[in-house]
Amino acid sequence: MQLLDAGALVALFDAVLHSVWLLPVLAVLIALDGPFPVLPSETLLTVGAAAAFGTGDALGVLGLFLASLVGSMLGDVFVYSLGRSSNRILRGAGQKDDGLGAWVRRNLWSRPIVACVGARLVPGGRLVSTAACGRVRLPMRMFLAATAASSAVWGVYMLLVGAVLSPITKGNPLLCLAAGMIMAVVTAGGFELARRLRRRVLARRAARAAVAPVPVPEPALAR
């Protein structure tokens, strides 16, 4: 079987990026990425954005943003519903004391938009924040405002990443794909490194607190 040459691969990826099915499929993947955060929705969105910016396709950029917004909100509502109805499906998401989950719970009622937006920009934070909203039974009105804000911020962020990559890729589908995958790996690796460093710092603080001498009160002098 003869392998496809570079020109055929470029044509294939170009057809995918300009297909009428791209936006609906992207919206579905982003929605499913809520309860199952292993799908390549972010990479596909970045690749599409890099290609659209590289070719000056303003309507394509707008379509990508709307697809990301719709897909993100639909997925968030689904996870929110699971959080309200079932503890078994999400397996403790939003309840772990892993730093992020604790921060989300502390700020969820007082600042739900800040909590959801902040968590959304961290890998795995979307599942944690939306599940927590369901678990604490945050009112739907407050949740919709929070998920709309977090989805919009996330969509703009991913499009900006694509815009930064566009001068490098120049609309070449293969370069867009490679750049999107590299950015996904670098971003995930950076957050994982930061998480491990934070755990080490907290562990050292806990160890120092454990060995610190406990002050003994002096006995009161008899009068």
pLDDT along the chain (223 residues), means of 10: 50 62 88 81 83 84 93 93 71 57 80 88 84 88 94 92 79 63 63 62 64 59 54
pLDDT at 162: 84
Provide the pLDDT for residue 127: 87
Q: Is residue 167 part of a domain?
A: yes
User: Residue 2 has what pLDDT?
Assistant: 45
Residue 63 lies in a domain: yes
**94 assigned to some structural domain:** yes
Q: Do the domain assignments include residue 106?
A: yes
Look at residue 6 and tell me if it is in a domain. Answer: no
pTM over 0.75: no
Domain count, the chain: 1
Q: Is residue 27 part of a domain?
A: yes
Structural domain contains residue 10: no
Q: What is the pLDDT of residue 145?
A: 94
pLDDT at 220: 56
Residue 183 sits in which domain range? 15-207
The answer to whether residue 59 is domain-embedded is yes
Q: How many residues does the chain have?
A: 223
Pairwise CA distance, residues 14 & 216, whole Å: 73
Long-range pairs for 140-144: beta carbons < 8 A, 24 or more residues apart: 142/112, 143/76, 143/80, 143/112, 144/73, 144/77
Calculate the CA 92 to chain-centre distance: 18
pLDDT of residue 74: 95
